[in-house]
Chains A and B, each alone.
Chain A
Amino acid sequence: MVTAPDNDISDIKVDNVGDFTFPERNKYDSGFGITDKTVDFIADVKNDPDWIREFRHKALKIFQDKPMPTHWATKDLENIKFDEFRYYLSDGQKPKRSWDDVPEDVKKTFDRLGIPEQERKFLAGVEAQYDSEAAYSNIKAAVEEQGVIFVNSTEGLHKHPEIFRKWFGKVIPTGDNKFSALNSAVFSGGSFIYVPPGVKVKHPLQAYFRINSEQFGQFERTLIIADEGAEVMYMEGCTAPKFETATLHSAVVELVAMKGAKIQYVTVQNWSSNVFNLVTKRGIAHEDAEVRWIDCNIGSRLTMKYPGVIMKGKRARGEVISIALANSGQHQDTGAKMVHAADDTTSNVISKSISIGQGRSTYRGLVHIPKHLKGCKNNTECDALLINSNSHTDTYPAISVRGNQHSTQHEASVSQVSADQIFYLMQRGLTEAEAMSLSVNGFINDLAKEFPMEYSVELKRLIDLEMEGSVG
Chain B
Amino acid sequence: MSLEIKALHAQIPGREILKGLNLTINPGEVHAIMGPNGSGKSTLSKVLCGHDDYEVTSGEVLLDGENILDMAVDARSRAGLFLAFQYPHEIPGVSNANFLRAALKARLPKGEDIDAVRFYKQLYARMDQLEMDRSFTSRSVNEGFSGGEKKRNEILQLMMLEPKYAILDETDSGLDIDALKIVSRGVNAMRSENRGFLVITHYQRLLNYIQPDIVHVLKDGRIVKTGGKELSLELEERGYDWVTDESLATAA
Task: Tell me the A residues contacting B by CB distance below 8 Å.
Answer: 415, 418-421, 423-432, 434-435, 438-439, 441-446
Task: Tell me the B residues contacting A by CB distance below 8 Å.
Answer: 49, 51-52, 72-74, 77-78, 82-83, 85, 88-94, 98-99, 102-103, 106-107, 140, 157, 161
B-chain residues with CB within 8 Å of residue A431 when the two chains form the complex:
72, 74, 106
The closest CB in chain A to the CB of B100 belongs to: A428
Contact B93–A444 (Cβ < 8 Å): yes
The closest CB in chain B to the CB of A415 belongs to: B92
By CB atoms of chain A within 10 A, which of B49, B82, B88, B93 has the most?
A: B93
Assembled-state Cα–Cα distance A420/B74 (Å): 13
B78's partner among A421, A429, A442, A446 (CB-CB below 8 A) is: A429
CB distance from A70 to the nearest CB of B (A): 36
Assembled-state Cα–Cα distance A430/B77 (Å): 9
Contact A429–B94 (Cβ < 8 Å): no
B-chain residues with CB within 8 Å of residue A419 when the two chains form the complex:
52
A-chain residues with CB within 8 Å of residue B52 when the two chains form the complex:
419, 423
Assembled-state Cα–Cα distance A431/B77 (Å): 10
User: Which 5 A-B pairs rank lowest in CB-CB distance, beginning with the nearest?
Assistant: A442-B93, A445-B93, A442-B94, A424-B89, A426-B73
Contact A443–B73 (Cβ < 8 Å): no
B77's partner among A426, A442, A445 (CB-CB below 8 A) is: A426
CB distance from A438 to the nearest CB of B (A): 6
Assembled-state Cα–Cα distance A265/B161 (Å): 42
A-chain residues with CB within 8 Å of residue B51 when the two chains form the complex:
423
The closest CB in chain B to the CB of A422 belongs to: B73
The closest CB in chain B to the CB of A444 belongs to: B93
Contact B94–A441 (Cβ < 8 Å): yes
Contact A425–B83 (Cβ < 8 Å): no
Contact A442–B73 (Cβ < 8 Å): no
By CB atoms of chain B within 10 A, which of A421, A423, A434 has the most?
A: A423
B-chain residues with CB within 8 Å of residue A445 when the two chains form the complex:
93-94
Contact A430–B74 (Cβ < 8 Å): yes
Assembled-state Cα–Cα distance A431/B110 (Å): 12
Assembled-state Cα–Cα distance A266/B85 (Å): 41
A-chain residues with CB within 8 Å of residue B88 when the two chains form the complex:
424
Assembled-state Cα–Cα distance A415/B92 (Å): 11
Assembled-state Cα–Cα distance A444/B94 (Å): 10
Assembled-state Cα–Cα distance A430/B74 (Å): 6
Contact B83–A442 (Cβ < 8 Å): no
Contact A438:B157 (CB < 8 A) given known A427-B49, A429-B106, A430-B74: no
Contact A423–B73 (Cβ < 8 Å): yes
Assembled-state Cα–Cα distance A136/B161 (Å): 49
The closest CB in chain B to the CB of A424 belongs to: B89
Contact A429–B72 (Cβ < 8 Å): no
Contact A443:B92 (CB < 8 A) given known A424-B85, A430-B106: yes
Assembled-state Cα–Cα distance A443/B52 (Å): 25
Assembled-state Cα–Cα distance A445/B139 (Å): 12
Contact A442–B157 (Cβ < 8 Å): no
Contact A421–B91 (Cβ < 8 Å): yes
Contact B72–A428 (Cβ < 8 Å): no
Assembled-state Cα–Cα distance A163/B61 (Å): 75
CB distance from A464 to the nearest CB of B (A): 11
